A and B are shown apart, each in its own frame.
Chain A
Amino acid sequence: MGKEHQSTYWRSLNQLANNDEYKKFVEREFPENATELTDGLSRRNFLTIMGASVALAGLTACRKPVVKILPHSRQPEFMVPGIPMHYATVMPFKDYVSGLLVTNNEGRPTKIEGNDLHPESDGATNSFHQAALLDLYDRDRSRYVRRNGEKSDWNAFLEFASDHFSNRTQRLLFISEANSSPTYQSLKSKALSAFANAEWVTYEPFSDENVLTGVSRAFGQKLRPVNHFDKAKVVVSLDADFMSQEDNNVQNVKRYAKSRKLNGTDSDMSRLYVVEANYSLTGSNADHRLQLKPSKVAPFLYALAAELSASVSGLNAFSGYRNEFSQHSWVAALAEDLRTNAGKSILTAGSDYSPEVHAAVAAINKALGNDGETIEYLELPHADSENQTEKFANAVRGMQNGDYDTVVMVGTNPAYTAYADLNFNSALSNVATTIHLSTHVDETSQNATWHINRAHFLEAWGDGFSYEGSLSAIQPMIAPLFDGKSEIEFLNAIIEGEDVSGHELVRNFWLSQPGGSDAQWQTALHDGLVKGTRFSSRSVSIVPGFAPFIQEALSTPVQTTDDIELIIKPDPKLYDGRFANNPWLQELPDPISKITWDNVALMSANTAQKLGLADARRFGQFEHQTVSITAGNHTFEIVAWVLPGHADDTITVYAGYGRTKAGRVVNSYEGRVGNISQETVGVDVFKARTTVNPLFTENVSVSSTGNTYEVATTQDHHSMEGRPFILEASLAEFKENPNFAPQIAGVYSGQLDETEESWYTTGAAPINLHNTRTFPEREPQWGMTIDLNSCIGCGVCSIACQAENNIPVVGKREVRRGREMHWIRTDRYFSGDDANPTVAHQPVPCMHCEQAPCEQVCPVAATTHSDDGLNQMTYNRCIGTRYCANNCPFKVRRFNFFNYPKEFLTTGEDTEVIQMAMNPDVTIRFRGVMEKCTYCVQRISRAKINTRNKTGNSVKPPDGAVKTACQQACPADAIEFGDLTDENSRVSVAKRDSRNYFLLEYLNIRPRTSYLAKVRNPNPNIA
């Protein structure tokens, strides 16, 4: 997007920050209303300030609007009303940041894209990044400081802090979320040195502590393993959902997709094995998937290591070890594949597995020579020596015992996420003074002495390291909407007792660093990162302590029971609940189960049968049976959901739901969630998670309750019914017949006998009543391809589209009625054996058929074809007969059954806040109007205008100038979009691929969107 849009990054703030007027302006906050104009500040003065600096261009319009809107008296540089500006920043998530490029319209951020200068995001995003925008405009965010629940303010807190923290010997505990920020880390050491009796715990409910500990057991040092999937030929994942739930998933997917990219029949692709219980997104992309209970994963790994030890040196610790998996067909096959691809393989395990597992994984990778090839081990400057999970448990026990006078919690929400056996809430009440910095008055804040309202990262200054260590700066896109404070401002206030702006803190820290300079700082702001920075890579070797450590693990007898194991995983959408109040994410269907607005107990059909639950779900069944699960002292009721391919005797539940204090989306969404019987969205399962084994809970009793509960899914049917929607072949089959996809599509349609080629490849259009031209004689002609071999099915395209096109959220009740509004959906099909099915994903947007059935039937010509081949919707003309939607073979049209945008954007208080998230280039659709994918026509138009401005006559933008929102967000680069009249455009090249095929070719509707068939790479040795 950048270049064509006169991308102007924020480069002059330093200057501006030294501008006194600007400083004054920021300190005072912005005038809430024009009454201030009357007392002392004349209108002329006000206008002078308004026009004084570029900062105002970035900041004035972004506040909650002043009552009177005043024009700029002088046009600030770069700022052209209606032309969005793009600024680089990064999003912190756990202990790493991802590079983003934020679109600002008149000072309000409206869209988040990946920063293509940032190596880890490389222009792509995941759902969390996309949805962060709505978190910024979350009206339920806390707006003021609270003391014992009463309204207070920041100054009162400062006063309190300077007094309270003047006692430097008090027993002080910091509980902080993971944070890679060097400024933050410097404040942390400052705090630890300032307070003699202070302790610091970094707490994340789902952390990579075990990975780091495991690696340190193997290599003697806490190092972060980074998997270079792009260099791997064989990837074995032991319950590591590296595409979704594990850290750094954008880059993982980027790299993985690269290793699977096919360019003709000569290309090779990697092979992915997944061993897991739950059907994860990664598992759904596996060439081979083995169902295994989590308790069996470690034995499986040891058996594999033992098998490998026979032929690979460096695994002596395992030699001779035997267990139930030693004879398993997978162990032999995996060992062979890993051995043949030594140095080009990756073995990875889920971060919740024990340090022993990660130590073994590290040892095997080392033995295979993968270190330094496909796996890099990076030094983490912010890594703690102690295992933070254990430290957190001890600290909470200490709180319980009254060991602390004051607890300061920076971010994080332990009252909700902490292990159940720690009784965090009662521990919290045993501490005299508790201070919590949080965006919401959440479960923790409501019990804290002080609640400090936190600024969102899009409105705060900060910095951080990306997963691989690119030093990056966080710059605000907007002044804090609710006067929140960032974590560094908060921490600084506690240490120093005074208020220093985040900008000063970060900048001063950067300047104080070796090599720190103003130029570096400005470039970092412009680019979003300091180029070339990276954590240092370490070469590793097995330490002597590894063998005894692993021997101990091997000698621990493995208990084999048929008891049900309860796995608690972070949710693919809400993660640990931190995104719970985000309606975009709540309404995004789970990539595998396609459930929205709820978590369920995922289990296999056998397990369901064992529990006496009813047979398979019927088409059109919305009420589902619930089960009561007792784990330890906690019992909860949750819907039982049969997920084909889930391992037997295990139940997976996603955490992040059932939050009691998350905000209105979760606790009383004013839209049409309507008839859900409970007060929260979903069920809290953290209460069943203990320190004994955070990964899974044994000794669980499950029983059917006889109750039912309504679940809203976006897909009710799960088989493709043998229809040629997703076409796939094995790599060998593909090499044999590269044209398999168009042939199958044609033969199925009855257009071809088996020897003929698709009309599209031969160029001979089929008999046609209307016009025989494939394209109108006009340039450009837009088209799209979606490579099903790259698509992993994550669903980020849906959210990106939702953000770009102002698509409303409709709520659970409407989704349950089948009225979700996503313009691009991801269809997920199961195929093969019921007990062990394979999964394929297919994103389906509007196909922009050249002979669109929808256009034919609209009585008022509200949907028509444009000269550049778009199937357009004229909202103003639409009367809402829904005939077009009926006649759409792909069912991609979406109808506003109610006034969804009105409910989404104007219900409740402070509606102007959420309205700020809307893209001004896209119309808000009224009730009764049909809508659908437009190929991001607003982006096309902007590119055309820019091209016209540059060239004077052409409206044919260069290839790559137009990227649709889905394409831009996609981490797998599955989507190509561009001009079909340009022979060399990426989309034209993709369309010439032998795997290119059309859906429902026999209807002769000639879709502009086509698919590239999926190719799997199975191991011939595994049947």
Chain B
Amino acid sequence: MSQTTGQVTEQPLFDGNHSFGSITRLISDIPQQETPKWWYIAFGISNLLMGLLIAMLVYLIWEGTGVWGLNNPVGWGWAIVNFVWWVGIGHAGTLISAILFLFRQGWRTAINRFAEAMTIFAVMCAGIFPAVHVGRIWVIYYVFPLPNSMQMWPNFSSPLLWDVFAVGTYFTVSTLFWFVGLVPDLATMRDKVKGKLAKSLYGFFALGWTGGNRSWQNYEKAYMLLAGLATPLVLSVHTIVSFDFAVSVIPGWHTTIFPPYFVAGAIFSGFAMVMTLMLIARKIYGLEDIMNIKVIEKMNIIILVTGWMVGFAYIMEFFIAWYSGVEYEKFAFINRAFGPYAWAYWIMMTCNVITPNFFWFKRFRTSITMSFILSIIVNIGMWFERFVITVTSLAQDFVPAAWGYYSPTWVDILTYVGTFGLFFTFFLLFLRFLPMVAIAEVKMELPQAKVEYYANGNSDKDSANN
């Protein structure tokens, strides 16, 4: 900070004193290098797991929903837990790319591409569950408002139907947004790669990007518009997912706090997942300069904040249950904490409310190891949150004689494990073939991209090379 000029200079966001050119090289070289051995191994494992998922789904559809551990009171089990969990994970991507974009948070550029890709793959994983959990998947098209001779429309008052539209829209907009953001970088790749096929493929998807003023203008406008479109979706998707529960009459589900609580939880888990993946990727691909400790710290702060929002919701649920005076509500919540599923509840509380408090301390916030461990714990905790909500409320609702204990079968478990195969298969393909950091956007956050930089007499060191 220079007192003499009277100007406050921000610390550069990214380390390594990169120039435009070095950023381009750093990122665009990754897809061009020879495929590393670990990638094949990881891809192989992911493929095996994806095969497992397919096998489980075939078995499920062949035999019937009964291969899962569901029973009479508990009609939704791991499938819906997994669905909500994966959708929640997806949330971070949209939040980072859309909301943080509108709030002009430059650090988001370090992770937004990455997080958006994660969003899309997570939503793909999530989308499997509502589709396959139905008893008769071969008539699932009944949920779409398709004109038919019986004039039979879906039931527009059902939250499940809202879900179909919400998740469908979300997936479409996320994918579009991600793709639009990719266009300048695809052009960069098109210009860099040597292979003919690669060149034409990148070229095709670069949509004739010239890098000219027109391109940039259109791009920025489109990006801004999509960011505006995606922003309400961040809130709406999980709100509507929460409606699946909140609109019902079941104690423990029927809760008005659910929409904000679910959104906060989604961001919480999404950031944790981005953190987990990012910490591995930055190490492997040497992206520590971009995905640096400052970005990590900012993400940890968000995890801490959303963690407390979630924790507040947990406590508030108890308060409202007591305050409402409804015996069934009171029972539902006390039973969560001290009933047969107390173990799940306390895993959730520990993982989601207690452990994020480490991030109050800068030492832990800026510790890579701590961030990695806590991000995984948060993801476990958030899975259990959904389990607690879904299963404990159903297993012991109104009529005590109809209560029934739920436990998953091996099919439930392997299906969930299998979705990681699907997720990582796509994610590894993404890492391998696409620029995993938004090159153009990162460059916009470099000091060189600011006018002040040149006012101080600096010049773009690298301009000759670029």
Contacts and interface: CB of A to CB of B under 8 A. Distances in A.
A858 B155 contact: yes
Contact of A886 (B394, B399, B400, B401): B394
B10 interface: no
Contacts of B399: 723, 725, 827, 844, 889-891, 999
Contacts of B362: none
B394 A859 contact: no
B134 A1003 contact: no
A45 to B, nearest CB: 48
Given A891-B72, A928-B65, A1000-B398, 9 more contacts: A725-B401, A860-B155, A880-B134, A882-B70, A882-B75, A886-B248, A890-B399, A897-B135, A898-B63
Interface string A746-768: 00101000000000000000000
Interface in A918-933: 926-930
Given A620-B407, A716-B405, A750-B325, A887 B250 contact: yes
B136 A886 contact: no
Q: Which of A818, A820, A930 has the most CB of B within 10 A?
A: A818
Given A859-B164, A896-B135, A1000-B398, A927 B64 contact: yes
B302 interface: no
B344 to A, nearest CB: 12
A897 B404 contact: no
B64 A882 contact: no
Given A817-B69, A859-B164, A929-B135, A829 B401 contact: yes
Interface stretch (B112-120, B139-147, B315-323): B139-147
A883 B158 contact: yes
A795 B180 CA distance: 65
Contacts of A899: 64
Nearest to A855: B155
A446 to B, nearest CB: 36
B211 interface: no
Interface in B95-137: 133-137
A315 interface: no
A930 B339 CA distance: 29
B66 A750 contact: no
Contacts of A1005: 249
A74 interface: no
Given A880-B134, A1002-B326, A721 B400 contact: yes
Contacts of B325: 750
A1002 B329 CA distance: 12
Q: Which of B133, B164, B328 has most chain A Cβ within 10 Å?
A: B328
A882 B400 contact: no
A861 interface: yes
Interface residues of A, number: 62
Interface in A719-764: 719-723, 725, 748, 750
B160 interface: yes
Contacts of B75: 882-883, 885-886, 895
> DSSP majority for the A interface?
loop
Contacts of B247: 856-857
Interface centre among A725, A750, A882 (most CB of B within 10 A): A882
Given A883-B75, A889-B398, A891-B397, A859 B153 contact: no
A861 B153 contact: yes
Interface in A855-903: 856-861, 877-883, 885-887, 889-891, 894-899
B296 to A, nearest CB: 40
Interface in A1000-1020: 1000, 1002-1003, 1005
A859 B401 contact: no
Nearest to B66: A897
A719 B331 CA distance: 14
A829 B400 contact: yes
B135 A853 contact: no
Interface of A: 618-620, 715-723, 725, 748, 750, 814, 817-820, 825, 827-829, 842, 844, 853, 856-861, 877-883, 885-887, 889-891, 894-899, 926-930, 999-1000, 1002-1003, 1005
A857 B158 contact: yes
A858 B134 CA distance: 12
Contacts of B250: 886-887, 889
A860 B143 contact: yes
A716 B340 CA distance: 12
A716 to B, nearest CB: 6
B327 A880 contact: no
B160 A859 contact: yes
Contact of B136 (A717, A721, A820, A926): A926
Interface in B144-164: 152-155, 157-161, 164
B403 interface: yes
B258 interface: no
11 contacts: A723-B328, A725-B399, A844-B401, A857-B248, A879-B136, A882-B75, A882-B76, A895-B70, A896-B64, A928-B135, A1005-B249
B142 A853 contact: no
Given A859-B155, A859-B164, A895-B65, A819 B327 contact: no
B322 to A, nearest CB: 13
B51 interface: no
Given A859-B158, A891-B73, A1005-B249, A879 B401 contact: no
Contacts of A619: 339-340, 396, 403, 405
A895 B70 CA distance: 10
A492 B234 CA distance: 85
A896 B66 CA distance: 8
B32 interface: no
B142 A879 contact: yes
Enumerate the 9 nearest inter-chain pairs by beta-carbon distance, A residue then B residue, closest first.
A880-B135, A928-B135, A620-B405, A818-B71, A897-B66, A882-B75, A827-B401, A891-B402, A861-B155
B157 to A, nearest CB: 6
Contacts of A858: 155, 158, 160
Contact of B72 (A818, A844, A856, A860): A818
A858 B133 CA distance: 14
A838 to B, nearest CB: 16
Given A819-B72, A820-B72, A881-B134, A717 B249 contact: no
B72 A885 contact: yes
User: Which of B137, B155, B407 has the largest count of A CB atoms less than 10 A from its CB?
Assistant: B155
B66 A814 contact: yes
B403 A723 contact: no
In this complex, the member of A722, A881, A894, A929 whose beta carbon has the largest number of chain B beta carbons within 10 angstroms is A881
Nearest to B61: A928
B78 to A, nearest CB: 13
A857 B160 contact: yes
Contacts of A886: 75-76, 248, 250, 394
A827 B143 CA distance: 35
A810 to B, nearest CB: 9
B160 A881 contact: yes
Contact of A898 (B64, B136, B161, B397): B64
A856 B135 contact: no
Given A818-B73, A879-B135, A895-B75, A717 B64 contact: no
Contacts of A895: 65, 70, 72, 75, 135
A715 B159 CA distance: 31
A488 to B, nearest CB: 46
